[in-house]
Amino acid sequence: MKIVYSPRCLEYGSPFHLEGPDRVRRAYEILRGLGYRFVEPKPAGEEDLLLVHSREHVERIRRGNFFDPDTPAYPGIYEYARLAAGGALLAAELEGFSLLRPPGHHAGRSGRALGAPTLGFCYFNNLALAVRKLDLPTLIVDIDGHHGNGTQEIFAGDPKVRFVSLHRAGIYPGTGWDSGPNFVNVPLDEVGDELYLKYLDRALRRVGAEECEVIAVSAGFDSHAGDLSSLGLTTEGFRRIGERLAEYGKPVFGVLEGGYIGENVGRDLHALLEGLQGRA
């Protein structure tokens, strides 16, 4: 599976911010050492951003005239966020994986989603605009340890999209307790691989995953044991998640969300991709 990547995504950040370039740099170095092929994306156009976001939100990010304690208005952030969005578009086209930052699943139509207090390190919802542009019946599986509140807000009630999120209960963004006609939320404690996979199987059956034509993975690795929103998962657990999704025999693409221990991100992503490709 090809990895979409650009070193430009390492150019911004703050030494005091958890979502920094080092996590992606270390993951890239691990994957490069394993022989993965990398392709560079083009930035998403404004017309792509407007597929899922309001014009007002796009303009706020463009101008940098917003204050968010978790999601700073870094110089040039509009261009970096467009590049990450473009990475998701290319990953969908190639059936690959976008290893770019900033992440996206907390960004809703007009910014903060479902009453969340901040944008949660996210500017544009990268995966959501790639799914919208594909315009195919799609299953989104969000394995980040935080609820994908922005993705849920964007696609709730959309007959072409089904959304599953397994996440740590009671932490940021404070959402993801209920389910709806086309989305299933599974709030969890630190359950470990075996229970996690059982809950995943149950959620996939409940949402009717087999009826979709494409699978899109919001791959956050902060659910790894010891990371920010640990669900007790191991690297082998991520491999088994990939194997489970591969059983559907559908085209798959993914994007990076959270995961703040760079070595784990690289190893976990490799395991997930091996599972998706049936190379256990």
Neighbours of 152 (CB within 10 A): 26
Q: Who contacts 15 (Cβ-Cβ below 8 Å, separation ≥6)? A: none
Q: How many CB atoms lie within 10 A of CB 149?
A: 28
Q: Does residue 57 carry a catalytic annotation? A: no
Which is it for the CA torsion 31, 33, 36, 38, positive or negative?
Answer: positive
Q: Of 57, 105, 106, 224, which residue is the catalytic one?
A: 106
Q: Select from 38, 118, 117, 132 the least CA-distant residue to 85.
A: 132
* C-alpha–C-alpha distance, residues 98 and 78, integer Å: 18
55 φ, ψ (degrees, to nearest 5): -60, -35
DSSP-assigned beta bridge partners for residue 166: 186
- Strand pairing of 138-142 and 111-112? unpaired
Catalytic residues: 106
